[in-house]
Each structure stands twice: as structure tokens, then as C-alpha cells.
Amino acid sequence: MSSKGSASAAKTDAERGLRVGVVGAGVMGSNHARVLAGLPGVTLVGIVDPLPEHRVRATALAGCRAFADLDELFDEGVDAVTIAAPTHLHHEIALACITRNIHILVEKPVASTVEEGQGIVNAARSAGVTLMVGHVERFNPAVAAIKQAISGEDILSIGITRVGPFPPRMSNVGVVIDLAVHDIDLIRWFTESDIVEVQPQLSSAVAEREDIALLQFRTASGVLAHINTNWLTPFKARSVTVATRGKYVMGDLLTRQVTECFGFKPDGSYSMRHLPVGHDEPLRAELIAFLDAVRTGNVPAVSGDEGVASLEIAIRCLEQPAKPAASAARKGPRRIAG
């Protein structure tokens, strides 16, 4: 085909738009469908979930068709699929899509094990299929502002807090996989360096799996980082601090306020300013980035390799068993001395 013919075909594909499906109609998958239904150049073909109540909710939220079986979605014809099903199903669903040359975004964590995650990466690479991992926190405008503020800086340390109440939805994972994997990815992204040392402290207070985690890391570039996460705090808190040789950056990921301290002087004085932060919905920005990668063939914003690397670190954190939060001897009320 001539270059003129290729350009014409590409234009026709662009005009046709992308036919996209969603697998998993839980809270996250329903939100995927809602956002995709409103994106230009996208036809939301439908959402797949075996549970009738999930299909009803997703249809009401996104106004799309709902299917009980993945093959029903395939029969309708799709170019790309976002996978928001339970993690233990990611591997099977992803391979089924890749076999049909369907581009995929897989919600974090990419898979249940590193081996399964690497299997997805290898299959996508062999098939020439776009694979992106859904680490949506990267698309939080406050995170983007922090990343820009520390660009080119000599980073010394990173501290991240991600705490909140016990989730209403029961899960077969603890806080490390459910919450801390977000921040493991952010540490790797902020530093552009691999994590080489892991020092986890895990505890179970009210859940069978760890519901408290204090995680310390060292990157290959020498940055020290820590994550404080739990399901015991009565309110949600999401904060990031980054210390560099030239500045100190503080970000609240919920209020999206980012503050930069700089110009340190010998007398202890310094300057402070609030940084501009965008207002984009992170999930919308993430899905747009995925679809852009599908259309252009460029490397996606969060590659499969990056998703597997963050999963591997999270699993290393879990190799140390969680301990009870307090010994039996300390469960009674504390006495007042005197």
C-alpha cells in the first residue's frame, strides 16, 4: 500500500473511532464505563460482569449494554478493553484479549503474581498489543505537580501517607496490595530508579491480612523512602513529601494543594509558594492516555514492565508475615500512674 493509501486508512480508522469494552462492573469498572461513554472518538461497546446486579448498575451509570460473558463482548467487535475484574482473573482475561489482538489496560495490580504479570507482558509484546497498567494515582493533578516540581532535583527522601477506614468492600488482599502498591509505583516514578532495599513492618489489628504497614525503601539512586498505610484511620488522608537538596515539596492528594519550600538561608529562613495544580479527573486522564497509546502505538504512560516491577516490590514487602497489633497482655485498659 502506498503512503497515501496508508494515511487514508489511518484517517478512516480515526474517523471511525475506537470500539472499547470494559470487563468488570464493580465500582472501578462502572467508573471506567462512565468515563469512556463520554469520551470523543470512542464507542463504548459494553461492559462484562457475571453478576446481574453489577450489570444493572453499570448500565444505569453509563447507558451501555452489559454482557454476562466475555465472548459476548468479543462477538460485538472491540479494539481495546479495560480490565477492572478481580485481580486473580487479570491473567486469564488479559491473555484472552491479547490472543484476539485487542489492546488492554489492566487495573493495578497487574496480576496476582509476578509470574502471571510477566506472562501478560510477554504475550502483549509478542502480539504487538498495547498494554497499560492502571496506576491511576500518577494522573492525579497534585502528583503531576509534584513530579514537575522535583524534575531535575537531587532527591534525598520521599514520605507517603495513605490511610483511611476499613473498606466496606471485603477483599482477599491487605493494605500493601490494595493501597501501598500505588505509592511504590510513585516512588519508582518520582526517582526514575529501581527499589533495591525493602524493610517492611506489617501488623494485623482487625483484619485477617495486614491492615497496618510501615514500609521503608532505598532506591538504586540512593533515595530513602517510606510509606505509612493502614485501614485504622477514621478518615482518609493522602499526602506526599519530597526533600531534595534545593527544596521541600508537600502535596495533599485529596485537596490537591501542593506547596514548595525553597531558598533556604543560613539563618533558617526560606521562601514558600503554592504551585498551580490542574483539575482533571485522574481516571479520565488515564483512559485518554491509554487510548492515545492505542491510536499512536507509542509506549503507554504506565508500561507493563513498570506494573510488574511495582507488584514485585509489594510482594517482597509481604514476605515478612504480619504480626498481631498488640500482645494479649496489653489488651486491657491502660492504668494511670500515681
Percent of the chain with pLDDT over 90: 84
Helices (H), the chain: 3-16, 27-37, 52-62, 70-76, 90-99, 114-127, 141-149, 175, 181-191, 282-296, 304-317
* pLDDT the model gives residue 168: 77
The more confidently predicted of residues 5 and 30 is 30
| pLDDT score recorded for residue 160 | 98
- The confidence score (pLDDT) of residue 291 equals 98
pLDDT of 236-274, one tens digit each?
Answer: 999 999 999 999 999 999 999 999 999 999 999 999 999
Q: Are strands 131-134 and 155-163 parallel, antiparallel or unpaired?
A: unpaired
Fold observed for domain 137-280+303-319? Dihydrodipicolinate Reductase; domain 2 (3.30.360)
Q: Looking at the predicted structure, is the pLDDT value of residue 329 above 90?
A: no
Residue pair 190/219 in contact by the 8 Å Cβ criterion: no
Angle at 162 between CA 156 and CA 163, to 5 degrees: 140
Strand 103-107 vs strand 212-219: parallel, antiparallel, or unpaired? Answer: unpaired
Mean pLDDT to the nearest integer, 302-323: 93
Q: Tell which wins on pLDDT, 13 or 105.
A: 105
Lowest-confidence pick of 139-148, 156-165, 201-210, 269-278: 201-210
Considering only the top CATH level, what class is 17-135?
A: alpha beta
pLDDT at site 327: 52
Q: What is the pLDDT of residues 96-114, one digit of tens each?
A: 999 999 999 999 999 999 9
Position 15 pLDDT exceeds 50: no
The residue ranges of every structural domain in the chain are 17-135, 137-280+303-319
**Model confidence at 8: pLDDT above 50:** no
Percent of the chain with pLDDT over 70: 90
- Reply yes or no on whether the pLDDT at 335 is more than 50: no
Do 17-135 and 137-280+303-319 share a fold? Answer: no
Q: What is the CB-side half-sphere exposure of residue 247 using CA atoms within 13 A?
A: 20
